Amino acid sequence: MKLKLTLWLLSFMLKHALRRKPRFREQLERMRGLDWGIATEDLSIARYYRMTPQSVITGKGLPVDLDLELRFRDQDSALRILKKPTQQAFLDGMVNGEVRLVGDSADMNKLQKLLKHL
């Protein structure tokens, strides 16, 4: 339940940043949008985010056409890593088998640059 709430709050924060933070919007314009999602490996909890310079659309589940997916081993590891989403935390999680990246690692770098402006 905590992970579901965290992912919902993340969607709220992304929408708020798009409306209120010019640097966030500028970074998103440079990227020309990003479609990404977060889920547990068993897909019991999953949420996607479709971000363009005009809007942020979010919903339950993981569509197949996402640019990037972050798959976590379980809810606990997801919460621990998402609380401090540094590049080192994700790298450690990948080495330990707690995080699996589905997609291009360049999109992960874009996402981390964008999330700095939240």
The predicted model scores a pTM of 0.90
Q: Write down the pLDDT at residue 79.
A: 93
Amino acid 71: pLDDT: 96
For 8-20, the pLDDT digits (tens) are 999 999 999 999 9
DSSP-derived letter for residue 8 is H
What mean pLDDT value characterizes the chain?
Answer: 92
Is the predicted pLDDT of residue 117 greater than 90, yes or no? Answer: no
Range of the structural domain that residue 53 is part of: 2-115
pLDDT > 70: what percent of the chain?
100
Residue type, 2: K
Task: Pinpoint the alpha helices (H) of the chain.
Answer: 2-20, 22-31, 75-83, 87-96, 105-115
Position 109 pLDDT exceeds 90: no
Q: Say if residue 1's pLDDT is above 80.
A: no
Distance, CA of 61 to CA of 48 (rounded, Å): 6
Instruction: Give the residues across from 39 on adjacent strands.
Output: 46, 71
Number of compact structural domains in the chain: 1
Domain CATH number, residue 111: 3.30.1050.10
